[in-house]
Structure 1
Amino acid sequence: MSNGQTPTTDGFAYTLTRTLDARAETVWRAWTTPEQYAGWAGAAAGSVEMDVRPGGAWKATMLTPDGGQFPLTGSYIEVTENRRLVIGMDVPGRAEPAAMALEIDPQADHRTQIVLQQSCDTAEERDMAEQGSTMLLDGLAAFLAARTNG
């Protein structure tokens, strides 16, 4: 696995790039299957619901390292199976959902590059979102490695 990080310079956006040792279809299922997502994203078992289609809703209750829980909700803005997923996340006090785009690009040797991008309203929001997304990608990489090697 290789890690890349290319912050964009316009506004408060970030881009994270990873190359994973898994096929694109496997990466897609990890992001779009409730049981798999809960297994790597830090969600409470049984709390993840996904209607993976444009306009479909999703929700999950995330667990914090200190034992806390917080609910997340949103919808799918764009869905191109095994290639692209744009996820809207509901943010309290914000009229429009925060959108996070995930590009899935098959590579040689059954590897997959993923590029995750998000634009935020403030530097603080961007820094928090980027930290959360980095943790997500770390969890995904570990989950996929365990499935491949286990």
Structure 2
Amino acid sequence: MSTEQTTAADGFSYTLTRTLDAPAAQVWRAWTTPEQYAQWAYCAPGSVEMDVRAGGAWKATVVTPDGGEFPMTGSYADVAENRHLVIAMDVPGKPEPEKMTMELSPQDEARTRITVHQTCDTTEARDMAEQGTTMLLDSLTAFLSR
């Protein structure tokens, strides 16, 4: 069973933390393997590409519940296998990508705490990003419990 803790939004930032019933290496593979990521991250089949290394690129097409498709691109700003990932997301009209940090902390051999943090430009952007990340963590939790 997973637990969830949401740290109150501070300015335009949010932090979400959960404890997942999976070892860190399994969580890492779910987040960094295109085939696994596509299964839980609301992506169109075959749309996920990942070069998981600092400076490596990624892309995916996210499918919304109403069937809309949104291509997303970015790169990895920092990578420490099984521990830390800084994901840079390209945003149309913005000169710099938005960055999201994902940290994995093993709790024991079978459980991992995941912490996701992001700072946005506005309250609205933060709220939308936090809602999207909450949905992702819900789906990741279900994926890992199979």
Give the alignment's TM-score, normalised by structure 1: 0.95
Q: Which residue of 2 aligns with 1:110?
A: 110
Q: Which residue of 1 aligns with 2:3?
A: 2
SS at match of 1:7: strand
Asked if 1:95 corresponds to 2:103, the answer is no
Q: Which residue of 1 aligns with 2:30?
A: 30
Q: How many residues align?
A: 145
For residues 143 and 67 of structure 1, what CA distance do their matches in structure 2 show?
Answer: 21
For residues 8 and 143 of structure 1, what CA distance do their matches in structure 2 show?
Answer: 27
Which residues of 2 match residues 2-81 of structure 1 at below 5 A? 2-9=3-10, 11-81=11-81
Percent identical among aligned pairs is 66
More helix by percentage: 1
Return 5+ residue gaps in structure 1 as ranges.
none
Q: Following TM superposition, where does structure 1 have runs of at least 4 consecutive aligned residues deviating by more than 3 angstroms?
A: none
For residues 128 and 81 of structure 1, what CA distance do their matches in structure 2 show?
Answer: 28
Deviations 1:53-97 (A, max 9, x none): 000000000101111111000000000000000000000111110
Give the alignment's TM-score, normalised by structure 2: 0.97
CA deviation after TM superposition for structure 1 residue 109, in Å: 4.7
For residues 64 and 15 of structure 2, what CA distance do their matches in structure 1 show?
Answer: 24
